[in-house]
Amino acid sequence: MDAKSRVRIATTSLAGCFGCHTSFLDIDERLFDLVRQVDFDRSPLTDIKQVGDCDIGLIEGGVCNAENVHVLREFREHCRILVALGACAINGGLPAQRNHLSLASVLQEVYLTAPGPAGGLIPNDPELPLPLDKVHPLHEVVHVDYFIPGCPPSADAIWQVLTDLVAGREPVLAQRLIHFD
């Protein structure tokens, strides 16, 4: 395969725990097969900091702050196929458990009333992206082409979807790949 026909993949984690990325690494030595066919663009595994034009973008985690929105839009703009990877990307997951509370009350609990901390201030520097009121799933912000369920999706499920997409097939997940726990 020449450089042009190689498939280019980008991955990122928004409001996620990195468990979906860890599960992706659980493809173990299949990683070596994968990199024979694909190049990695922006990803926690590379030092590419800004996403370029890609065939496939995998996103873990929902959207919890202004920066997540920005990165998600950049991914949508640059990735031909965008995949929501795991429960957080699909419906907010654990971080969205704050959605029934006011953001202010959560910040207060953590920085002002939780046992321990001395200081009495809530971080507010302009370097910190503004947290959103609620944690949102990806598809509320951009169009998403595929959703891989699970917390995290198994390595086999991620492998199946990736190999299907790389080969230009419509991905199909057998029941055993989406049924667990």
DSSP-derived secondary structure letter, 4: G
**Per CB under 6 A, does 152 bind ligand SF4?**
yes
Which of ligand SF4, another protein, none lies near 146, with the C-beta cut-off 5 to 8 A by kind?
Answer: none
In one letter, which amino acid is 19? G
Selected range binding another protein among 1-9, 97-105, 160-168, 169-177, rule: CB under 8 A: 97-105
* Angle at alpha carbon of residue 6, lines to 167 and 39, rounded to 5°: 105
Which of another protein, ligand SF4, none lies near 48, with the C-beta cut-off 5 to 8 A by kind?
Answer: another protein
Which of ligand SF4, another protein, none lies near 111, with the C-beta cut-off 5 to 8 A by kind?
Answer: another protein
Instruction: For residues 94 and 12, give the distance between their C-alpha atoms in angstroms, rounded to a whole number.
Output: 18
CB-CB contact of 158 with 85 (8 Å):
yes
The upper half-sphere exposure of residue 45, i.e. CA atoms within 13 Å in the direction of its Cβ, equals 12
Q: Which is nearer to another protein, 129 or 171 (CB)?
A: 129
Q: Which is nearer to another protein, 96 or 170 (CB)?
A: 96
Q: Which is nearer to another protein, 98 or 139 (CB)?
A: 98
CB-CB contact of 62 with 96 (8 Å):
yes
Nearest approach, Cβ of residue 70 and another protein (Å): 11
